[in-house]
Amino acid sequence: MSALTTRAYNPATDERWAEALLADTLGGRWQARRGEVLDALGLPGIVAVHQSERLGLVTYQVNGADCELFAIALARRHAGVGTLLLDALQACVAGCRRIWLVTTNDNLDALRFYQRRGFQLAALRPGAVADARRRLKPGIPAVGAYDIPLRDELELELLVTTR
């Protein structure tokens, strides 16, 4: 696919599209992780675009030298969109020393994607998803991708080296 570009997420023009994309790919804009629920669309973001078609979104938050990749959602997979968004995020948060994210034990595709791009496992929180289902977000399914019981949070990180 040629002419993939990125631009800043604009809630005024992108929110309806982004909300539908997050509903289709991540179960909605409200995401539970680390014992709390946050609005993925209340954070800064980057949109991947091909011509006028929006193909993906990444949202993030920066805290000091750490950048959390909060949500990434793709309308088209296996077309370079995820890599483009990750590269754009790294450029956007160039002052950060660490980029980290939380995923779940069933998300084998994400584990493959991030590890191939240098991310390493930084933490395992056994039972965290099951706890979030009970306390925070009852809509989290008990079974996830590949019919794997959805139980645990995995935190991945990429330590950014300065050049």
pLDDT digits (tens, 9 = 90+) for 27-58: 899 998 998 899 999 999 999 999 989 999 99
| Token pair recorded at residue 137 | 């977000």
Which class is 4-159 in CATH? alpha beta
Read off the pLDDT of each residue in 76-87 and give the average, rounded to a whole number.
91
Give strand ranges (E) for the chain: 4-8, 30-33, 36-39, 45-50, 53-63, 66-74, 98-104, 120-125, 153-159
pLDDT digits (tens, 9 = 90+) for 99-154: 999 999 999 999 999 999 999 999 999 999 999 999 998 889 999 999 999 999 99
**pLDDT of 152:** 97
User: Does position 89 have pLDDT exceeding 90, yes or no?
Assistant: yes
Question: Which residues lie below 8 Å from residue 128, measured CB to CB, with a gap of 6+?
Answer: 34, 35, 151, 152, 153
Quote the pTM value.
0.90
